[in-house]
Amino acid sequence: MNKLLLQGITDAAGFVGGGLAGMFVARAFGLDIFAEGYGGASIGGILLCGLGGGVGLQLARWARAKVSKDQADE
């Protein structure tokens, strides 16, 4: 598979997965990112969703680098 295509797919999967995880954590704390208006609960949920997306992206990049390093060592 093309290296850039693989990078794009893993980055997207990590970001979306992390964003969803952040949304579910926000829901567990009673924060609704889809609430009407921009109240504190909505902003807190959006913040957790964004942080989750960033963490998921970084984890995907870390995993991809680890796999490519392991393949280079073989």
Give residue 71's pLDDT.
77
Establish if 2 belongs to a structural domain: no
Contact 16, 35 (CB under 8 A): no
Give residue 36's pLDDT.
87
Establish if 74 belongs to a structural domain: no
Establish if 73 belongs to a structural domain: no
Q: To 10 degrees, what angle do helices 3-28 and 40-73 make?
A: 140
Establish if 37 belongs to a structural domain: yes
pLDDT tens per residue across all 74 residues of the chain:
788 998 999 999 999 999 999 999 999 999 999 888 889 999 999 999 999 999 999 999 999 999 888 777 76
Give residue 74's pLDDT.
67
Establish if 4 belongs to a structural domain: no
Query: Model pTM?
Result: 0.84
Q: Which residue segment(s) compose the domain that 22 sits in?
A: 9-68
Number of domains within the chain:
1
Establish if 38 belongs to a structural domain: yes
